[in-house]
Structure 1
Amino acid sequence: MTQQGVRWTADQVLALAPDAASRKAGSKLGAAGPWSEAGSSDEGTLWGLCRGSGSKPYQTVIDITDSTGPAYKCSCPSRKFPCKHALGLLLLWAGEDGTVPRGQAPDWAGEWIAGRRQRAEEKRTAGAASGASASGDPEAARRRAERRAERITAGAAELEQRLTDLLRGGLAAAEQAGYGLWEETAARMVDAQAPGLAARVRELGAIPSSGPGWPVRLLEECALLHLLDQGWLRRERLPDGLAATVRSRIGLPGSADGPPVRDHWLVLAQYDTADSHLTTRRIWLHGAESERPALLLSYGAAGRAPELSLPVGLALDAEVAAYPGAGQLRVALGEQFTAPAPTTRRPPGVSVARAAERYGEALRDDPWLDSHPVTLGRVIPTPDGDDWQLADADGDVALPLAPAARSRSGLWRLVALSGGAPVTVFGECGHRGFTPLTAWPEGPGEAVLLC
């Protein structure tokens, strides 16, 4: 993920951290003090010995040439990837002060690097072979798909009946029933192999205790769930694009079979969300030539960072392929023609009014869309009573910040960056408000991470 002579910024390195504690601990190790025998190669590898609490220093080695992000190896007992030692070594290297000179990798680092690249080559060969064999029995695959579709249809019909019973009995009953009602219904959707329906049902369970106005919110979400149910039950009558969107929202897997699109993709944001089972990484890209947004998703087991990592402020010349569905922005990363490298380019901003229009247009293709990526140009973060909004510097309209964004430390970074002057902000615009993810000053300057 680098090329000779190009290094990352500290923010780009810290964006790799799996959590806030790792960022703090890694920052402390970003100085030369605890390190010895640190070095780097022209091939894109780093290594070093970090003094710890034991008698032997920790051996840390990093390969930053992998197309999906850096790979790490450290002799410390940490179960986090990257660990604080890997983050510290990357920060030391990013400092450009000569403390990580060019050199020959020691044996312990060279063995891991050679072994990893050999395994990667074997994996690519095996993947090509398995892909060829997977298509060997299309009839069996068709029968499996039909059986799953039957289970989902039965689950959707059952869910329709439960929604009908809820509305017939009155929404007040939902508050009295507690979360158990929804968890049991969600479990039924899991049995029906419809994880998308199960996730939306679980979200319903938290609404009755979410404060004033919850009946309205519950009715809105029930209506969207009913719409998704009906979309599945009548999917044969839908246009192909909308039918693909329904299948995706239900939870059926899809493949990125769209035509490859080559562009210079700017990395605008990267952030993780986690539950008890899975960590999901969302990476937003912007095509410098095509002007189209694209979303990369990567997953890791709970407590582990996903493999794919593209820190904000990089650009890569690469192909992406779209997943099916009307208005869907998710893509798969294909062939990369150059290594990702820092860039000063930024996406063009639009007005607040145009941002709201774009979200409305996106809802036509996907009624279940929570938010849509957009870059706001010349906006000023402004307090609005107890809340905050982004006001158009050249107009009289504003977008309220989403509730979750108001409590993040990124809000104060945005306010400090602005200082009352207009800024450019990339984020997600949705029915709950605007969530800022990255910002740039009005004049020249690097991207500031807000997430």
Structure 2
Amino acid sequence: MDETGVRPTAEQVLALAPDAASRKAGTKLGTAGPWSDTGGGGAEGAVWGLCAGSGGKPYRTVVDITGPAYTCSCPSRKFPCKHALGLLLLLASDEQAVDGTAPAPGWAEEWLAKRRERAGERGTGSPAEAAPGRPADPEAVRRRAERRAARITAGATELEQRLTDLLRGGLAAAEQSGYGLWEETAARMVDAQAPGLAGRVRELGAIPGSGPGWPVRLLEESALLHLLSTAWLGRDRLPEPLAATVRTRVGLPSAAGSAPVRDHWLVLAQSDSSDGKLITRRIRLYGRDSGRSALVLSFGAAGRSPQLGLPVGLMIEAEILPHPGAGQLRADWGRQFGAPGPIEGPPPGGSTGAAIEAYGSALRADPWLDSVPVTLRQVVPVQRGGGWQLADADGESALPLASTGLSRSGLWKLAALSGGGPLTVFGEFGHRGFQPLAAWAEDLAGTVPLT
């Protein structure tokens, strides 16, 4: 969670859950339906609300975002309980659902006042614990950040030992140990306040027995996790842009940069994915004037569609707020100026070889990057060796399409749009191949979404 009151993301909230059952139950409560009298928010440093339960009396829930710390009148012994998770997911997915101007009710203020009093005795206040209207103590913020960094360091050190034990025992043994070992390790990373490490550990747990070649995939992902944990342990020796990327990857919140970028943004792709608990919307943008690519993420919990939606194929003059970090494309959507209009043409692109070079350069800035946005010019979809590729029209080279990319109907849409002729295709290219997201034909006006 944030050290300075920045609104948490849904991934960070779910990483705090003590177990899978809590994540599922908390996600169901991440909508406005069961909540009333909500208030607070990122600027307040705390959030509170009443959650309807099975009884006639609602549960009183308060979360100090900067701690994080929680209290709830429910009888659950899990920490945080599902109500605290649901309230944080509500804040993460829809900030307007929480009244940021509402004063804290007596039951919430009483708990927050006790925390302020205890913090005053220790000399370590926080934005949530400071008196109303008074700024947070910079020294207290620094000490909290140091304490969290120390916890993450302890977690990364423990993770290194567990990865060493995995290799010493042999990768084949990972299939017999079951998912429980991974979940327990992920819980330890949550305790260390490193949700990014926890998420990657859970991904490791899904690899054993997942199909042919799983030991190789497990070794690859374990190596990346080892690289991340050792990068955190040696972050003081890294260049600042790369150190910022490492901080984001381990799970420290990444606030948007202070300098907004105003441009005419081409909306090239919008796609939703779900892990059963959270809907993630990815919106790919390209700045016509700056030549800058950007990725805007929005989230919806418990089956709710994410709030932000931008029409693919249109150009919008607006500001984005970039996140810090080496090679970071993540940004928040800012102010919009005027009405959107149609895209005048595709963004500039290059060959398949140029796409490979772009991905290689991006990996130097962020070794944990899955893919980069690229635009391919003059490529033709072809089927070779039982798989699909996008080949340069001159036949010099080709990129395989990602196995998890287009559906069968999407593949035939791309082939039909080409008709054997060259296309301009925008998509994401990485170690899994190229995933087409939008295309333009030479004899057809307009952008054709492929997702």
TM-score scaled by length of structure 1: 0.69
Over the residues paired in the alignment, what is the CA RMSD in angstroms?
Answer: 2.4
Q: Is the 8 A contact 1:359 1:371 kept in 2?
A: yes
Offset at 1:347? 0.6
Tell me the equivalent position of 1:28: none
Tell me the equivalent position of 1:411: 411
Matches within 5 A, 1:123-272: 135-272=135-272
Offset at 1:150? 1.8
Offset at 1:311? 1.4
Cα shift readout 1:387-425 (whole Å, capped 9, x = no counterpart):
111111123210001111254532221112112111111
> How many angstroms apart in 2 are the aligned matches of 1:399 and 1:135?
53
Q: Is the 8 A contact 2:401 2:434 kept in 1?
A: yes
Alpha-carbon spacing, 1:376–1:303, altered in 2? closer, same or farther (3 Å): same
Alpha-carbon spacing, 1:177–1:228, altered in 2? closer, same or farther (3 Å): same
Offset at 1:238? 0.8
Q: Secondary structure at the match of 1:207?
A: coil
> How many angstroms apart in 2 are the aligned matches of 1:428 and 1:221?
20
Q: Secondary structure at the match of 2:425?
A: strand
> How many angstroms apart in 2 are the aligned matches of 1:408 and 1:230?
41
Offset at 1:155? 1.1
- In structure 1, give the amino acid aligned to 2:197: L
Cα shift readout 1:179-215 (whole Å, capped 9, x = no counterpart):
2221221122122211111111111122222322222
Q: Is the 8 A contact 1:313 1:344 kept in 2?
A: no
- In structure 1, give the amino acid aligned to 2:165: D
Pairing 1:286–2:282 present: no
Tell me the equivalent position of 1:20: none
> How many angstroms apart in 1 are the aligned matches of 2:448 and 2:302?
28
> How many angstroms apart in 2 are the aligned matches of 1:346 and 1:124?
41
> How many angstroms apart in 2 are the aligned matches of 1:150 and 1:171?
30
Moved more, 202-211 or 368-377: 202-211
Alpha-carbon spacing, 1:403–1:253, altered in 2? closer, same or farther (3 Å): same
Tell me the equivalent position of 1:318: 318
Tell me the equivalent position of 1:337: 337
> How many angstroms apart in 2 are the aligned matches of 1:380 and 1:207?
34
Tell me the equivalent position of 1:421: 421
Tell me the equivalent position of 2:389: 389
- In structure 1, give the amino acid aligned to 2:417: L
Q: Secondary structure at the match of 2:358?
A: helix
Offset at 1:170? 1.1
Moved more, 222-231 or 173-182: 173-182
Q: Is the 8 A contact 1:260 1:322 kept in 2?
A: yes
> How many angstroms apart in 2 are the aligned matches of 1:322 and 1:315?
19
> How many angstroms apart in 2 are the aligned matches of 1:234 and 1:412?
48
For this pair of structures, how many residues does the alignment match? 330
Offset at 1:142? 2.5
> How many angstroms apart in 2 are the aligned matches of 1:147 and 1:175?
36
Offset at 1:125? 7.9
Structure 2: state its 5+ residue gaps: 1-94, 103-127
> How many angstroms apart in 2 are the aligned matches of 1:133 and 1:314?
43
> How many angstroms apart in 1 are the aligned matches of 2:202 and 2:290?
38
Q: Is the 8 A contact 1:275 1:302 kept in 2?
A: no
> How many angstroms apart in 2 are the aligned matches of 1:144 and 1:409?
52
Q: Is the 8 A contact 2:346 2:424 kept in 1?
A: no
Q: Is the 8 A contact 1:392 1:398 kept in 2?
A: yes
Alpha-carbon spacing, 1:406–1:134, altered in 2? closer, same or farther (3 Å): farther
- In structure 1, give the amino acid aligned to 2:377: G
> How many angstroms apart in 2 are the aligned matches of 1:408 and 1:251?
36
> How many angstroms apart in 1 are the aligned matches of 2:133 and 2:161?
42
Pairing 1:447–2:444 present: no
Q: Secondary structure at the match of 2:285?
A: strand
Cα shift readout 1:255-285 (whole Å, capped 9, x = no counterpart):
1124222211100001112223321111110
> How many angstroms apart in 2 are the aligned matches of 1:365 and 1:243?
10
Tell me the equivalent position of 1:276: 276
Cα shift readout 1:126-152 (whole Å, capped 9, x = no counterpart):
8xxx9x958533333323322221221
Cα shift readout 1:265-310 (whole Å, capped 9, x = no counterpart):
1000011122233211111100101111111111111301111110
**Stretches of 4+ aligned residues off by more than 4 angstroms:** 122-126, 132-135
Q: Secondary structure at the match of 1:327?
A: coil
> How many angstroms apart in 2 are the aligned matches of 1:134 and 1:185?
40
- In structure 2, give the amino acid aligned to 1:227: L
Matches within 5 A, 1:26-41: none
Q: Secondary structure at the match of 2:208?
A: helix
Offset at 1:443? 2.9
Q: Is the 8 A contact 1:387 1:406 kept in 2?
A: no
Cα shift readout 1:13-40 (whole Å, capped 9, x = no counterpart):
xxxxxxxxxxxxxxxxxxxxxxxxxxxx
- In structure 1, give the amino acid aligned to 2:294: A
> How many angstroms apart in 2 are the aligned matches of 1:251 and 1:143?
18
- In structure 1, give the amino acid aligned to 2:299: Y
Q: Is the 8 A contact 1:258 1:324 kept in 2?
A: no
Offset at 1:343? 2.7
Tell me the equivalent position of 1:365: 365
- In structure 2, give the amino acid aligned to 1:169: G
Cα shift readout 1:217-241 (whole Å, capped 9, x = no counterpart):
2111111100000011111111100
Q: Is the 8 A contact 2:402 2:435 kept in 1?
A: yes
Structure 1: state its 5+ residue gaps: 1-118
Q: Secondary structure at the match of 1:276?
A: coil
Q: Is the 8 A contact 2:406 2:450 kept in 1?
A: no
Alpha-carbon spacing, 1:211–1:272, altered in 2? closer, same or farther (3 Å): same
> How many angstroms apart in 1 are the aligned matches of 2:203 and 2:406?
21
Q: Secondary structure at the match of 2:298?
A: strand
> How many angstroms apart in 2 are the aligned matches of 1:135 and 1:364?
39
Tell me the equivalent position of 2:376: 376
Q: Is the 8 A contact 1:260 1:320 kept in 2?
A: yes
Q: Is the 8 A contact 2:255 2:323 kept in 1?
A: yes
Q: Is the 8 A contact 1:281 1:298 kept in 2?
A: yes
> How many angstroms apart in 2 are the aligned matches of 1:443 and 1:123?
51
> How many angstroms apart in 2 are the aligned matches of 1:283 and 1:249?
20
Q: Is the 8 A contact 2:406 2:436 kept in 1?
A: no
Cα shift readout 1:351-402 (whole Å, capped 9, x = no counterpart):
0000111000000000000000001111111112221111111232100011
